[in-house]
Structures are given as C-alpha cells and as structure tokens.
Amino acid sequence: MYTYIGTMHNQRLNWPEPPKNVLIIQKIHDSSVLPCFIQLTQWLLMEKQMVVLVEKNVLKDIRNRAEPLFKQLRDKLLVFEVDRNNRDFGKEVDLVICLGGDGTLLYASSLFQSKVPPVMAFHFGSLGFLAPFEFESFKQQVTKVIEGKAGVTLRSRLSCSVHKQETNTLVDQSNQFVVLNEVVLDRGLSPFLCNLDLYIEGKYITTVQGDGLIVSTPTGSTAYAVGAGASMVHPSVPAIMVTPICPHSLSFRPIVVPAGIQLKILVSKDSRGSAWVSFDGRQRQELNIGDELNVTTSVHPIPSICFKDPMTDWFSSLGECLHWNERKKQQAIVLYDNLDFDDNDDHSSPIHQNGVEKR
C-alpha cells in the first residue's frame, strides 16, 4: 500500500511498507524494448527481491520466447490477468513500471478501472510526454521510488457510460470505461455533420454541429484537444475540457468546466446520422439517434511518478515534446551613456561612438 504526503500540487510518494509486487508493462511488438525489459526484470528479482508480474501476452510473444535470457526468467514471472468484474488489482500490485511511450501508459490506465497503483513510465516511444524517465539510469530512479523519494502527479480520469435508447438501460459493465486522456464523439464515415445535444448537470447547454466533440481531462488537454484548439491545462487542475471538433460556427469555442460535474451527450433526434465514440482511442462503438454518453470525473486518479516534480516535469514536456513558445530571441537594445551630440548632428542616423558605427 501507499499514501501521499505534501500539498495537492507537490505530493510525494510514501510507502508505509516497502513495495513487494511490481507489474511491468512492456511495449508489445517492439524488439528494441526486450533487452531493457530483461535487464530491469533481472535486477528487480535478484537484487531487490521483488515479485514481478507480467501480462500473459508477454510470455507468449514469439520474439521473447526466442531470447535465451528471457527463457531463464520465464519461470520466475507471475501472470497478471484482467478480470474487470470481480477483482481490484490495486490491492495486488504495489507498483507499475511501463516500458514504452504515452500509449503504453494509457494502456496501463485501462487495466485498472478502479484504484491504480503508482505508475513509473520509461520513455521508449516517439513522443514521451507522459513518460519522463530515461532507461539509462533506471537503477537509481527505481531505487528512489522504492525508498519513497519521488514526487507524484495525481492525474484525474473520466468515468464514462453509454445509455442505449432501444433498451432504455445502461449497457453491460464491459462497455463502461475509465479514460486518462479523453472520450471522443465523431461522425465517423458519415457525410453529415454530428448533431450532439450537450447537457451539464441535467441542464441543456447547446447542440454541437460539426465533426464531433472531445471531452478530456487536464492530462488529455495536451493530446487530441490541443490539436482542436483547446488550452493546455496542468494535470493538477481539477477540471474537464469540452472541445468541439471543426464546429460549423465561428463562435463555438472550447470551454473548461469544474471537475466532478455530470455531462450528458445525446445524439440528437434531429441528427441525420449516427455518431461514433472512442475511449482513449480504444473500444470504438456506434451511438444511434437517441443514445447518450454520460461522463464525469472518476474517483480513482492515476498516480504518475515524477522525474523531478509536477511543475518542472510538465513545463519540460511542453518544451521538449511540443516545442511550446520556441522562437529566436529578440535582440536587446544597446544603450550608450554619456554621448555628446553637436547641434548639426542628425539624431536619426546611426549612433557613432569613437568613430565606430553602432547598429
């Protein structure tokens, strides 16, 4: 188990008891990650005496099974299997280590629909906005985490459920989702605009006419939402972003609403076609006319372990990954003191000092 100490914007990980069970989530179908996975696993098993869990598909991967070093470790690994209906995996896993990119962290989030263990993400992907750690110094970094010397960002998630008009009931539990980035409604292959009625706390707000709508967390504000014109919001801010996709109105701007409110998005009865919904880019499904999506803030955030601290990590990612506000610096104006001008001097001409033209 684990707790947090410090303020909301500067929390640190605290282990009442040393962590024992660590789940390693490896980027699948990428052979470049395998040597690092083996190195990390050997170190955790041999030196740290920890129990290492992996998913079943890691053990079945042909590339892994052909690696001699992996064969030596295979029997020492425990299998982590998902059973969303009956088990709380947050009680079985003390720490999650991701070897991949931002997509690997999103996948890790999808495995834990309720309480999430602290997640440490190593960057092996193309962007690495959510994965601040480099693998070269993994021993020092993982040791700091195990010893409780790491900062944590509590990244809020969204709890989503679909209501089908034809059955007038919620769909089964397998179609309820918790997302870290965003839930997206779009028109799919339809040639018609989306017509989506937006309700907040049960009150009708507006009808979205365009290509769709993005409902995102602060973490997701720097993903699809920022590409659609939303503001970038620090993950510690308790908020939900509502961003239209290509709205057919110049005045329809993105909005930010308080975390915890209830949003309902209904495929309008006047819509010419259906809409499609996806959850962190997964489990895409069709919503027919009259179907609705309900969204609110989940009570189970994802504790993302910081490389330095929540503020430094976020602004570093903005600069390194999105090149935020990068441009050549404007040159400073050079001032010259104690200069004497004759009455006949042309003050509009370049300044001369000691016979040298200054520009």
- 298 burial level (CB within 10 Å; 0-12, 13-18, 19+): buried
94 within domain boundaries: yes
pLDDT of 21 strictly over 70: yes
350 within domain boundaries: no
pLDDT band at 201 (very low <50, low <70, confident <90, very high): very high
Active-site annotation holder among 102, 197, 280, 313: 102
340 within domain boundaries: no
Assess whether 309 and 270 both reside in one domain.
no
Give the integer Cα–Cα distance in Å for 52 and 78. 6
- Between the two ends of the chain, the Cα-to-Cα distance in Å is 65
Assess whether 214 and 309 both reside in one domain.
no
Find the CATH number of the domain harbouring 236. 2.60.200.30
Assess whether 130 and 243 both reside in one domain.
no
37 within domain boundaries: yes
Give the integer Cα–Cα distance in Å for 30 and 26. 9
Q: What is the pLDDT of residue 34?
A: 87
* Helix intervals (H) in 19-169: 34-46, 56-60, 62-65, 68-74, 102-111, 138-146
pLDDT digits (tens, 9 = 90+) for 317-332: 999 888 999 888 888 8
Find the CATH number of the domain harbouring 125. 3.40.50.10330
How much is the pTM? 0.86
Assess whether 151 and 9 both reside in one domain.
yes
User: Active-site residue 343, yes or no?
Assistant: no
pLDDT digits (tens, 9 = 90+) for 204-217: 999 999 999 999 99
Return mean pLDDT, the chain: 87
Domain total in the chain:
2
pLDDT digits (tens, 9 = 90+) for 82-127: 765 544 555 689 999 999 989 999 999 999 988 999 999 999 877 7
Assess whether 247 and 314 both reside in one domain.
no
Q: Which domain holds residue 190?
A: 158-297
pLDDT band at 5 (very low <50, low <70, confident <90, very high): low
Assess whether 108 and 166 both reside in one domain.
no
Which residues partner with 5 through β-bridges? 12
- In terms of pLDDT, which residue wins out, 356 or 344? 344
Q: What is the pLDDT of residue 221?
A: 96
Six token digits for residue 320: 């390194």
Assess whether 67 and 111 both reside in one domain.
yes
Assess whether 37 and 12 both reside in one domain.
yes
Assess whether 77 and 192 both reside in one domain.
no
355 within domain boundaries: no
pLDDT digits (tens, 9 = 90+) for 159-177: 999 998 876 655 555 568 9
